[in-house]
Chains A and B, each alone.
Chain A
């Protein structure tokens, strides 16, 4: 429960409450956290401005586009000003403009507000644009972790996409990664050896 008070989660398939307005969606989550009502209201208004919903905040979200709904979801996730934010594919399934808005917001949270954000995505361009550190998961296991530059240097690739492809196919990947504890290193080693054998 204490972790949930400090962290916030936006699942990939999350949806807004369609019978509530944008403001009510955000306020609702703030009230669940038990913050004083005045604080929640003020924070809600700030978020509405931050995510660009001013003018539509009193509209029922049933009428919103996918991008606008995603904005409401992001705002809802941020209402209690969490220290740690989990975003599971926040730009999946929304239009380009909406995705751009969400990315800009993530950048702002990270660079200006110094929030710790754990972002999961399949969009490697998004990774390069937004992420300070990258963890690459292959077959359910963490195969590599580091800054983009570190990974490119380590795996001798020109971009994160190539690093990822290399890790998933076993093509031209170095044998050891010193960032892993022995157990994980051995798993990666086994993966690499198996791919060499093929």
Chain B
């Protein structure tokens, strides 16, 4: 009971001090709102620039569709051509992201499918042929069979191959065809039945990763801020007490060093919890900003549609990452003489790994997919497990072929377990470092 009261008193004091310091309001409450608002503004500006840009991109199309081989569906002779027609129409529409794009159906019209695949898998030549849409030879037949089948087990697929830097993605294609479709038939194709399989080509020849822009962006921002935001609190709470000469008196009180450490961490986690909530609010606001842009093509590409799973996993990821960052930060702060040194050490130690992991998450890949075997070394960085937890948790099918343990559930357990282990390891190290704090030194 006494220990509980002591910890309670310490936590209340930390929170009271922190909330009366301006940095807390700025960092933990206004910071995330500001950050997502700025990002929303940047994305909106990007959308304006993209939609008003004079630069065109060439979209190559190879149509292998043999058309309707069933005599009982006479009006639908070749859906592949209908698809291309919609792309052409949207490329001339001022509201479309495909505006000004050249729909090139000639260059690869005589190529075999296998030749095209070989071309786009060639690192030196892939950019000559991408973005590339391949309409398979049984496109019309499969669609008709899909429609007439009660089970709807097979849906027609249009393949889109693009490089990570390409602007044209599956959402653009879908939106482009949808917005210009005049017939109910074409709308039905894109909205309900057709799977546009986007394959993001990544070299050197690793399996492609598929995850939307939205989740990659959320993962990057969430990791970076979860790691960097605790800097001010950790530095002030530990190095700051030493600098302000309150540590010595505190250590002379009848409270164990571990309880002091634990209380400060607990207070930090309360602040991180507040920050996470504000981050989620900012994320929802960002999604609303992007969704309100009156450009279906743009918002279909860049908008984020937060689901409950996404919000829960993002929250968990941020809390775990922040806890580890604070554990490491305490050890660094205990080695520093003052707040500025502690903050500098923290930033220097955390920034580059956080940015690296965030960027990998942004492009939607896992480290071993992006860098091959050597990418496994990234798993030494704690936050790689956080992004992996988020990606695999939300898109288990997408990453099913890229598991470390052979199954997605086991991978999730591995990542979560590793993060928990690291938390305790950091606490242990931090408590040993904190033990060095002396009285009357």
Contacts and interface: CB of A to CB of B under 8 A. Distances in A.
A129 interface: no
A17 B10 CA distance: 12
A20 interface: yes
A31 B252 contact: no
A171 B1 CA distance: 58
Contact of B6 (A8, A11, A31, A76): A31
Contact of A20 (B2, B17, B249, B439): B17
Contact of A14 (B6, B10, B245, B254): B245
Contacts of B13: 17, 20, 24, 28
A15 B246 contact: yes
Max count, chain A CB within 10 A of own CB: residue among B1, B16, B21, B249:
B249
Contacts of B252: 4, 8-9, 11
Interface in A1-48: 1-2, 4-5, 8-11, 13-20, 24, 28-29, 31-34
B244 interface: yes
Interface residues of A, number: 27
Contact of A15 (B244, B254, B256): B244
Contact of B10 (A8, A32, A88): A32
A13 B254 contact: no
Given A1-B256, A15-B245, A17-B246, A24 B440 contact: no
Given A9-B249, A14-B249, A19 B440 contact: no
B248 A14 contact: yes
B20 A31 contact: no
A19 B6 contact: no
Nearest to A18: B244
Contacts of A60: 20
A34 B248 contact: no
A4 B256 CA distance: 11
B245 A32 contact: no
B251 to A, nearest CB: 9
Nearest to A31: B9
B246 A19 contact: no
A16 B16 CA distance: 14
Secondary structure at chain A's binding surface: helix, strand, loop or mixed?
Answer: mixed
Contacts of B20: 19-20, 60
Contacts of B256: 1
B274 interface: no
B383 to A, nearest CB: 31
B246 A14 contact: yes
A141 to B, nearest CB: 17
A107 to B, nearest CB: 23
Contacts of A13: 245, 248
Instruction: Bin chain B's interface residue count.
Output: 20 to 34
Contact of A32 (B1, B244, B253, B440): B253
A19 B21 contact: yes
A19 B244 contact: no
A14 B253 CA distance: 13
B358 to A, nearest CB: 33
Contacts of A73: 249
A33 B253 contact: yes
A34 B439 CA distance: 21
Contacts of B254: 1-2, 4-5, 32-34
B238 to A, nearest CB: 14
Contact of A31 (B5, B244, B246, B439): B5
A49 to B, nearest CB: 23
B16 A19 contact: yes
A181 to B, nearest CB: 25
A11 B248 contact: yes
A40 to B, nearest CB: 10
B176 to A, nearest CB: 57
A9 B439 CA distance: 10
A31 B13 CA distance: 10
A11 B440 contact: yes
B255 interface: yes
B6 A29 contact: no
A8 B10 CA distance: 18
A24 B10 contact: no
Contacts of A20: 13, 16-17, 20
A63 B176 CA distance: 64
Interface in A50-104: 60, 73, 76, 88
Max count, chain B CB within 10 A of own CB: residue among A8, A11, A29:
A11
B109 to A, nearest CB: 73
Interface string B294-326: 000000000000000000000000000000000
A1 B290 CA distance: 58
A74 to B, nearest CB: 12
Contacts of A2: 254
A41 to B, nearest CB: 13
Contacts of A15: 244-246
Max count, chain B CB within 10 A of own CB: residue among A10, A16, A17:
A17
A75 to B, nearest CB: 13
B21 A32 contact: no
A29 B10 CA distance: 9
A10 B20 CA distance: 25
A10 B245 CA distance: 11
A1 B6 CA distance: 14
Contacts of B10: 32
Given A18-B244, A20-B17, 8 more contacts: A13-B248, A17-B13, A19-B16, A31-B5, A32-B9, A32-B255, A34-B1, A34-B6
16 contacts: A9-B252, A11-B248, A11-B249, A11-B440, A13-B248, A15-B246, A19-B16, A24-B16, A29-B253, A31-B9, A32-B9, A32-B255, A34-B5, A34-B6, A34-B254, A88-B440
The 4 closest A-B pairs by CB, nearest first: A31-B9, A34-B2, A4-B254, A9-B252
